[in-house]
């Protein structure tokens, strides 16, 4: 199934706002680390409901572009803000619709692993970033976080499962220096006591703790030379 078919359905059934609520637990910490300045242009890849750009606009960026492969996601995102300095575009990670050296920062929250060719996406990010521009890439599906590996069975789009080292290596191959890599735990999600398991979503408390508190979201930060 295509990205469009999978995620249009999520958008029309309201899952975009649910994702926003859950992802915000860690995404807010990622966004807080971005070294943005007032006249910056930021692109958010796989923007979903567009919450990242709404938050960055509150911090004063000049302009934001949210790219998403699912038209219904982009349509919903447009409906959640009347800010004319944020634009939502339908497009694919393979070919970013921006000129060379045009963008100050690129962010992506829980979306990069859906790229059909992640190496190509990284080269595209490198191409559009200005010298010194940064790429904040946050993923909660990665090799060390073993309790997330089953997600692929529930999603029709092929997902990339890289380790922390593979992220660093791929960034460097694409010409991005790795400035930081960290895991950001989700300390807000409620984890029930041990006798509540198994739940609908989790076999054991241990697996849920591993997913949210031990590993959380992997952040890799690249800088364009």
The residues that touch ligand SAM, with contacts defined as CB under 6 A, are 3, 7, 19-20, 23, 27, 46-48, 67-70, 73, 92-93, 109-111, 114-116
Nearest residue (CB) to ligand SAM, 78 versus 205: 78
Nearest approach in angstroms of CB 35 to ligand SAM is 20
Indicate the residue among 113 and 171 with the shorter CB distance to ligand SAM. 113
Specify the residue, 121 or 134, whose C-beta has the smaller distance to ligand SAM: 121
Q: Shortest Cβ distance from residue 7 to ligand SAM (Å)? A: 3
Residue (76 or 134) nearer to ligand SAM, CB: 76
- DSSP for the chain reads --HHHHHHHHHHTTHHHHHHHHHHHHHHHHHHH----TT-EEEEET-TT-HHHHHHHHTT-SEEEEEES-HHHHHHHHHT---TTEEEEE--TTS-SS-TT-EEEEEEES-GGG-SSHHHHHHHHHHHEEEEEEEEEEES--TT-GGGGGGGGG-SS------HHHHHHHHHHTT-EEEEEEEE---SS----GGG-S-SS-S-HHHHHIIIIII-EEEEEEE--
- Smallest gap, in angstroms, from Cβ of residue 171 to ligand SAM? 18
Q: How far is the CB of 162 from ligand SAM (least distance, A)?
A: 15
């Amino acid at each position: 199934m295509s990205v469009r078919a999978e995620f249009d359905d999520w958008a029309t059934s309201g899952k975009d706002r649910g994702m926003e609520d859950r992802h915000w637990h860690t995404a807010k910490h990622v966004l807080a680390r971005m070294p943005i300045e007032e006249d910056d242009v930021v692109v958010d890849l796989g923007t979903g409901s567009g919450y990242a750009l709404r938050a960055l606009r509150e911090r004063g960026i000049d302009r934001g572009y949210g790219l998403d492969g699912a038209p219904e996601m982009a349509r919903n995102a447009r409906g959640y803000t009347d800010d004319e300095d944020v634009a939502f575009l339908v497009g694919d990670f393979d070919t970013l619709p921006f000129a060379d050296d045009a963008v100050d920062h690129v962010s992506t929250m829980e979306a990069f692993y859906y790229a059909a060719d992640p190496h190509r996406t990284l080269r595209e990010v490198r191409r559009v970033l200005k010298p010194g521009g940064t790429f904040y890439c946050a993923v909660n599906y990665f090799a060390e976080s073993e309790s997330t590996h089953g997600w692929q069975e529930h999603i029709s789009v092929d997902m990339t499962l890289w380790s922390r080292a593979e992220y660093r290596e791929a960034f460097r191959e694409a010409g991005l220096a790795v400035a930081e890599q960290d895991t950001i735990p989700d300390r807000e999600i409620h984890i029930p006591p041990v006798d509540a398991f198994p739940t609908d979503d989790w076999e054991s408390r241990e697996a849920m703790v591993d997913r949210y508190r031990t590993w959380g979201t992997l952040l890799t930060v690249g800088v364009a030379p």
